[in-house]
Amino acid sequence: MRVEVVAVGTELLLGQIADTNSQWLGEQLAANGIASHYHQHVGDNHERMVQVFRTALARSDALIVCGGLGPTQDDITRAALAEVMNVDLVRDEAIVTVIESMFSSRSRTMPQNNLLQADVPHGASIISQRRGTAPGLICPLGNKVIYAAPGVPYEMTEMFERAILPDLLERERAAGNSSVIKSRVLKTWGASESGLAEALGERFDELGEHGAMTIAFLASGIEGIKVRLTARGSDDAHALELLASEELIARRIITEKLGDIIFATDEDTMEDAVATRLSEAGLSLALAESLTGGLISSRLVNVVGASTWYRGAVVSYSSQVKYDLLSVPEGPVVSIEAAVAMASGVRRALGADVGLSVTGVAGPDPQDGHEPGTVFVGLDIRGVTEHASLRLPGDRPRVRAYSAISALDVLRRALDRSL
């Protein structure tokens, strides 16, 4: 079964609010092995809504329409559905009663336009409301179906889980499809998307685009490149089994060809990877940040429980602070020597086991004879120091963001070696 998501609302087209419903529904459908090949956004315009619904019905088996079920004049999804179904809107007295009692229970008088929400296309069945006033609809069209839910995520998600998904799965079973999809994301840092694609190219071709296992590459900007493995199995166990064996293969190929570039899985981040290693080793961390200006620190404190291993940071944006607080020797502050001195200095100043530092040139102008994008990372683990030199692309914010995750990756690799 192919399910298409249609988000209704002029505010979506004008970019005044983000459409989080399509992403959420896409994730839910995929997790349940239901194919979704298209999403559409359309405004609160009768003709265009009708046209979008017809376009979607021509290429999909089911539509999930979000939005336009409210009580105001521009909530016209019900009328558009009635036209596509070629039926009339009928006022449902049961819904009238529910809405009236909802208002009276909150001892508020009901504005008359709320009754619009009781108008139902003839032949549609109703998804009762539990979190708002507008009920959802299940509109049959021959062997196809349109589900309509409110645009408010809090209301839509509840209706999807309670009524829409069960109905979809029942239709899948009736159609003899009951496969389950599971996916895993391997997060990498240090390789290009094309480099990964080349490393996994052979495996990519072996699996093909429509097999039980597929591989995809997601460039996620400053967070590196993600490799997504997706398995389609007869049930959860089967899909997870396929996924587990493919993950072993992918990890082996990537590590053999590109080294230790996989830093996390699924929702984990680079800071989680560092946090896990520090906690396990019982090591505390202090940072000395120059061009990154606190960016690395602000990432680390998002890890729950960071206070058990994170001491804090000195953001030595001016050279004087490097000399005074971090006892960096007077002289150029964009150098390997300065980076190492900053790491050792902050480790002592904050009484930590590990000191990590970053100094460099964010740009736009060169500094100490170095071009923008020149970055030095210093590391001091209980007195044992090392350093890394980087050349990073982009404008100021970009150079900073790359520097932050690069420095954390230097720490991750060093901890793996030293532990």
- Identify residues 112-141 at the interface with a second copy (CB under 8 A): 112-114, 131
* Residue closer to a second copy, measured from CB, 87 or 390: 390
Question: Do the Cβ atoms of 167 and 152 come closer than 8 Å?
Answer: no
Give the residue from 184, 194, 193, 200 showing the smallest Cα distance to 255. 200
Owner of token pair 């009236």: 100
Q: Taking a C-beta distance cutoff of 8 angstroms, is the pair 309, 415 a contact?
A: no
**Residue of 157, 316, 359, 374 that binds a second copy (CB under 8 A):** 316
Q: In whole angstroms, what is the distance from residue 9 CA to residue 45 CA?
A: 9
Contact indicator for 347, 354 with CB cutoff of 8 Å: yes
The DSSP result for 280-337, as a single string, is HHT--EEEEESTTTTHHHHHHTTSTTGGGTEEEEEE--SHHHHHHHH-PPSS-SSSHH
Closest separation in Å from C-beta 114 to a second copy: 5
Assess 400 for contact with a second copy (CB under 8 A).
yes
The pair of three-digit structure tokens given for residue 171, joined into one six-digit string: 């239709």
Strands (E), 72-200: 89-91, 119-121, 125-127, 136-141, 144-149, 180-188
Q: Which is nearer to a second copy, 125 or 389 (CB)?
A: 389
90, 100, 257, 394: residue in contact with a second copy (rule CB under 8 A): 394
Cβ proximity to a second copy: between 324 and 416 the closer is: 324
Contact residue for a second copy among 320, 331, 369, 417 (CB under 8 A): 320
Cβ at position 62, least distance to a second copy in Å: 15
Contact flag: residue 324 with a second copy (CB under 8 A): yes
**Cβ distance to a second copy smaller for residue 51 or 418:** 51
Site for a second copy contains 389 (CB under 8 A): no
CB-nearer residue toward a second copy: 75 or 380: 75
Residue 339: C-alpha distances to residues 128, 311, 354, 356, 395 (Å): 63, 19, 14, 9, 22
Binding of a second copy by 193 (CB under 8 A): yes
Compute the least distance from the CB of residue 138 to a second copy, in Å: 23
Chain centroid to Cα 187, Å, comes to 13
Which one of 289, 353, 380, 409 is in contact with a second copy (CB under 8 A)? 289
CB 183 within 8 A of CB 243: yes
Q: CA 215 to CA 184: how far, in whole Å?
A: 10
- Does the footprint of a second copy cover residue 323 (CB under 8 A)? no
Minimum distance of a second copy from residue 222's CB (angstroms)? 9
Residue 140 vs 265, nearer CB to a second copy: 265
Q: Is 325 in the site for a second copy (CB under 8 A)?
A: yes
Enumerate residues 269-288 that contact a second copy by CB under 8 A: 287
Site for a second copy, residues 35 to 94, rule: CB under 8 A: 36-45, 48, 51-52, 55, 59, 70-74
14 binds a second copy (CB under 8 A): yes
